Amino acid sequence: MLTLGCARNEVDSEELAGRLAAGGWELAAEPEESDVVVVNTCGFVESAKKDSVDTLLAASDTGAKVVAVGCMAERYGNELADSLPEADAVLGFDHYADLSDRLDDIVAGRTVASHTPSDRRKLLPISPVQRQSASEEVEVPGHAQHGWGPRVLRTRLDDAPVAALKIASGCDRRCSFCAIPSFRGSFVSRQPDEIVAEAMWLAQNGVKEVFLVSENSTSYGKDFGRDGARALELLLPRLAAVEGIERVRVSYLQPAETRPGLVKTIATTPGVADYFDLSFQHSSETVLRRMRRFGSTDSFLALTEQIRELSPEAGIRTNVIVGFPGETEDDLAELERFLTGARLDAVGVFGYSDEDGTEAETFDGKLDPDVVTERVSRISALVEELTTQRAEDRIGTMVDVLIENVDEDDDPIGRAAHQAPEVDGECVVIESEGLTVGQFVRCEVVDSEGVDLIVRPIP
């Protein structure tokens, strides 16, 4: 099982591994040892698609059968199969329930028809409150518990002390640059009891931190009816109380939907990381409207101020897109004003490029690629300066570090509450002895290197 893309895909892979184990399949440690290599592809942006194709081609070189699943397979289906004969099958989400049988067919040499793509938003009712029952009849990745009772249908693919936990799938937003809703489908929340049960299972399997993922976590509970507005606020303390789970982290928050009650819950609940992964994307009102999003520099700065009033050392990260069609120098200056005022801990900077089937693909005002590249460099340089300053501001503060591995100098490496896995920097623990992976250590920040912190355990 090879996984590309985001943490949501990682959860889907572990769900698929659980399904395959239930069907009698065994996971091999290396592709060369496999009868079948299942590649969980990413189809978000062009570079991710290329990585997925390259991985499929490399898998075919092992001599094993190769099966493509995941977002790229769902999005392009038989088109991908026609252009990539090295793949023995291209299967969509609707194949997940009987994936074990389909692999049996492939190994036996029986032909499995490739997936035919469709707009998955049309598979569930328009009204969110009608989706909970309807979703039991539609394959929704990450919702494999239907019909399995208390059993968690998931197999861990590593032994890391942190694991992603999916709370919802799909998205109802219509951002003009994003194609995800068309192949991931409409938004569907998982039931709280099911999520808590999976958190308990993860704790029993060595996990110390759970990382809540979805396409839009601030929408969690919108399909529960009148009582769903505070669903995430109520879920977080339950997860933090799970024995063995020492830290709960929320990701993928939409700024326009982030309510004061949720901010307070994340910022002040013991066991919940005071960490805000906010999808700002830009701050110019003009650009945001063309993106089919809401907000402004001032409203976004007010949100960051609200967070820091409750938790001055809270971590805040985001992604931004520059070079969007119609973006002017004034728009870029507005984004710079926001980034300078917000004092964010981490920022991903991406240059706009057309995405198949999106509204923005049809927009006028496209910028020359060289202009987009120049703007990416300009904003990236500002971001590097600002996030480095933010890390320097943490020198002298105390952080709780989860130890995750050891570097080449035998120094333990971990993450503080303001650092999410892989994207927000790390903590290098010096002058330490006897620390083990999975251990939480109270440390003082003594130095910084870019966004990374150098920390020393407190005796």
Q: Residue 145 has what pLDDT?
A: 56
Per-residue model confidence as pLDDT tens digits over 99-118:
999 999 999 999 999 999 88
- In this model, does residue 132 exceed pLDDT 60? yes
Q: Residue 309 has what pLDDT?
A: 97
- In this model, does residue 146 exceed pLDDT 60? no
pTM, entire model: 0.92
- In this model, does residue 326 exceed pLDDT 60? yes
Buried b / exposed e across 288-315, counting CB within 10 Å, b at 16+? bebbebebbbeebbebbeebbeebeebb
- For the four alpha carbons of 8, 258, 392 and 456, in that order, the dihedral sign comes to negative
Q: Residue 227 has what pLDDT?
A: 77
- In this model, does residue 186 exceed pLDDT 70? yes
- The superfamily (CATH) of domain 122-393 is tm_1862 like domain (3.80.30.20)
Angle ∠(22,25,30) on CA atoms, nearest 5: 130
Tokens coding 437: 């992976």
- For the four alpha carbons of 43, 47, 48 and 49, in that order, the dihedral sign comes to positive
- In this model, does residue 46 exceed pLDDT 80? no
Q: Of 213 and 131, which is predicted with more confidence? A: 213
Report, as an integer, the average pLDDT of 149-176: 89
What's the chain's average pLDDT?
Answer: 92
Task: List Cα–Cα distances, 201 to 191, 193, 196, 205, 250, in angstroms.
Answer: 16, 12, 9, 6, 19
Report, as an integer, the average pLDDT of 190-211: 94
Q: Residue 279 has what pLDDT?
A: 95
Q: Residue 423 has what pLDDT?
A: 83
Nearest to 430 by CA among 453, 412, 449: 412
One DSSP character per residue, 243-272 reads TT--EEEE--B-GGG--HHHHHHHHHSTTB
CATH class of residue range 2-117: alpha beta
If you compute the radius of gyration of the chain from its CA atoms, what whole number of angstroms results?
22
**Share of residues in the chain with pLDDT > 90 (%):** 77
Q: Residue 144 has what pLDDT?
A: 59
Q: What are phi and psi of 84, to 5 degrees?
A: -135, 75
397, 442 in Cβ contact below 8 A? Answer: no
Q: Residue 158 has what pLDDT?
A: 92
- Sequence ranges of the domains in the chain: 2-117, 122-393, 397-457
Query: pLDDT tier at 139 (50, 70, 90 boundaries)?
Result: confident
The reply to whether 427 sits in an annotated binding site is: no
Q: Residue 275 has what pLDDT?
A: 97
Inter-helix orientation angle 70-83/46-60, to 10° = 60
Per-residue model confidence as pLDDT tens digits over 232-242:
999 999 999 99
Tokens coding 69: 């699943």
H helix or E strand, kind and range, residue 65: strand 65-69
CATH class of residue range 397-457: mainly beta
119, 102 in Cβ contact below 8 A? Answer: no
245, 221 in Cβ contact below 8 A? Answer: no
The reply to whether 443 sits in an annotated binding site is: no
Largest CA-CA distance found in the chain, in angstroms, rounded: 64
- In this model, does residue 135 exceed pLDDT 90? no
Distance CA 290, CA 313 (A): 33
